[in-house]
Amino acid sequence: MRDDPVAMKLIEIEVLRYRPEQDVEPVPQVYDVPFTDDMSVLQGLQYIKDYLDGTLSFRWSCRMAICGSCGMMIDGVPRLSCKTFLRDFHPRRLRVEALAHFPIERDLVVVIDDFIGKLERIQPYIVPKTPRTLAEGEYLQTPAQLDVYEQFSSCINCLLCYAACPQYGLNPEFVGPGIMALLHRYNVDSRDGAASQRMEIAGSEAGAFNCTAVGYCSEVCPKHVDPANAVNQNKTLAAKDYFLRGAKPKGGKR
Amino acid sequence: MSIPDPRRPYMRPMTGWWRRNPFFIEYMIHEGMALFVAAYAIVLLVGLLRLAQGEAAWNGWLDALRSPLSVAFHVVLLAAIGYHAWTWFRIMPKTMPPVVIGGRRLRPSEITAAGVGAAILASIVLLGVAWGLMR
Amino acid sequence: MKAIEKRSNAPIFWALFGAGGMLAALLGPALVFLTGIALPLELIFPPDALSWPHALAFARHWAGKAFLFAVIALFLWHAAHRIFHSLHDLGAHAGIGAKLVCYGFAAAGSLLAAGALLSLGF
């Protein structure tokens, strides 16, 4: 049994603060945080809030990389703070700032209304091909049919891919990698019948062709969804749709 | 009297975005290879125009091609277009749906290898056909 | 109308970009080696390989014309698309002006190539 306290290591965490009621623009603030090797960046932020500065604002929930709430820029890279560990940065100072390419609401909290609006727009649910009754029983799907969409169903809407995507940063009208991954997930699911409606979005000026295959979205995805693959597959699919249905530049009815 | 909206979301500027991450620097480099693809197309185009202008113009162009400056430039073009080819096949798996062969999904590295293999094969065929035509 | 409601015409330029990029990836290095290094330095190939009669015969043949046009035009369209997007990446406004300059250059080059090839006859 240990009676003497364990000597704690200290790490400097520099957080980009932003309080609209008092800050003209974001300002960095450094905190000295004692830590143990098992502590995540999220736990570091929780220590700051609990003991050093209760005004620090940030989103978090599950603390196990499944809810998608705690995304932020850690040393300039989009990461889940619950899945990033302080020991990997010590003794250097750690920079934490709000997820890139989104407006900062406050401190590490970003405005994600744009994403939510786009999510609603792509109908992120199975739209049955034909009306189906409960009596008809469950859908049957082969492993091959599952394989075509399964990885894209792992998306936790954490928005790291949006912070990674420079095209979204340069043009926020772009639907973005996460939305395209979900759009694709439903389009290629054998149970779904709304592909042509979702194709209108994929082939629009806000769609797949904004992508220039940087590929960083897939690099940062914590769930290995590979959104770059979804976006780029849809360039081919949208091009097929464009050439085979005839060109209607004004977005006419199909 | 209504209270002014206390919310004032802050948008950070995008200037210099690609300099902040080595991943993006490499991206800008491989995208920049397009300049060399254009340069080679222009070299061929100029040659074609000289050919259309007659024998004297064509021979003048051949002399220019033989100059050390031109050969050195083409060595640079070779490296650049080679890098284009490599990064093109590196991205290719990202553009494709799952490719299933023998009940197994091909890995991205296998798709890239197939692309590079196809390029090597195509190059051999091209050089072979060229050699056959010039004998 | 918002961007998400307008059908994009990008597929035309993207398809040309893709074809040009694939051609450049498959044959670009070999072509550069052949025309810019091996032939001028008389490596492997005979010294009169690019002589006037040979070059003329190649450019007059329908297959030679098709090959030359494909390489020149597709390489230019590939580069135009990529350079246009790189300008946007660097912060330039990706408007009609930039599109006209980039794609216009590719179009002009393609027309010049076609014109030269046709003027050489069959």
At residue A250, the pLDDT reads 44
Whether B96 and chain A come into contact, CB under 8 Å, resolves to yes
At residue C100, the pLDDT reads 95
Q: Which residues of C touch A204 (CB under 8 A)?
A: 3-8
Domain A113-247 classification at class level: mainly alpha
Matching CATH topology for A9-110 and A113-247?
Answer: no
As a whole number, mean pLDDT of residues B11-22 equals: 96
Whether C93 and chain A come into contact, CB under 8 Å, resolves to no
Higher pLDDT among residues B33 and B133, named by residue: B33
Domain-wise residue ranges, chain A: 9-110, 113-247
- Best mutation target, C1, C2, C5, C7, to test chain A (most A CBs within 10 A): C7
Torsion of CA A210, A215, A217, A220, to 10 degrees: -170
At residue A2, the pLDDT reads 55
At residue C115, the pLDDT reads 97
Q: What is the DSSP letter of C32?
A: H
Ranges under pLDDT 50 in chain A = 250-254
B93: its two tokens: 């798996």
Give CA–CA dist C102/A62, Å, rounded: 49
The hierarchical CATH code for the domain B15-96 is: 1.20.1300.10
- Tell me the nearest-neighbour CA distance from B39 into chain A, angstroms: 21
Q: What is the DSSP letter of A8?
A: P
Burial string for A214-236 (b: 16+ CB within 10 Å, else e) reads: bbbbbebbbbebbbbbbbbbbbb
**3-class SS at A131?**
coil
B3: its two tokens: 């209270």
**Does the CA dihedral B39-B44-B48-B50 come out positive or negative?**
positive
Chains touching chain A through at least 3 C-beta pairs below 8 angstroms are B, C
Burial string for B28-38 (b: 16+ CB within 10 Å, else e) reads: eebbebbebbb
Q: Which residues of A touch B108 (CB under 8 A)?
A: none
Give CA–CA dist A94/A214, Å, rounded: 26
**Nearest CB partner across the interface for B23, out of A103, A105, A219:** A219
Q: Under 8 Å CB-to-CB from C8, ≥6 apart: which residues?
A: A203, A204, A205, A207, A209, A238, A242
For the question of whether the overall pTM of this predicted structure is more than 0.90, the answer is yes
Residue B48 to residue C59, Cβ atoms within 8 A: yes
At residue A251, the pLDDT reads 45
Whether B59 and chain C come into contact, CB under 8 Å, resolves to yes
* H or E, element range at B32: helix B22-52
As a whole number, mean pLDDT of residues B91-100 equals: 95
At residue C122, the pLDDT reads 87
Q: Which residues of C touch B126 (CB under 8 A)?
A: 27, 30-31, 34
Whether A242 and chain C come into contact, CB under 8 Å, resolves to yes
Quick one: what percent of chain C has pLDDT higher than 70? 100
pLDDT at B90 over 90: yes
At residue B133, the pLDDT reads 86
Give CA–CA dist A17/B3, Å, rounded: 24
At C34-43, the pLDDT tens digits run 999 999 999 8
At residue A5, the pLDDT reads 66
At residue C93, the pLDDT reads 87
Burial environment of residue B121 by CB neighbours within 10 A (0 to 12, 13 to 18, 19 or more): exposed
At A77-114, the pLDDT tens digits run 999 999 999 999 999 999 999 999 999 999 999 999 99
Higher pLDDT among residues B2 and B42, named by residue: B42
Sort strands A9-17 and A94-97 into parallel, antiparallel or unpaired. parallel
**CA distance to A190, C83, C113, per residue, from B45 (Å):** 49, 19, 6
Q: ipTM for the complex?
A: 0.95
- A9-110 CATH fold: Ubiquitin-like (UB roll) (3.10.20)
Chains touching chain B through at least 3 C-beta pairs below 8 angstroms are A, C
At residue A252, the pLDDT reads 42
Q: Which residues of B touch A212 (CB under 8 A)?
A: 31
Higher pLDDT among residues B103 and C58, named by residue: C58
The residue written with tokens 């400056």 in the block is B69
- Tell me the nearest-neighbour CA distance from A162 into chain C, angstroms: 16
Sequence length of chain C is 122
Burial environment of residue A84 by CB neighbours within 10 A (0 to 12, 13 to 18, 19 or more): buried
Residue C7 to residue A205, Cβ atoms within 8 A: yes
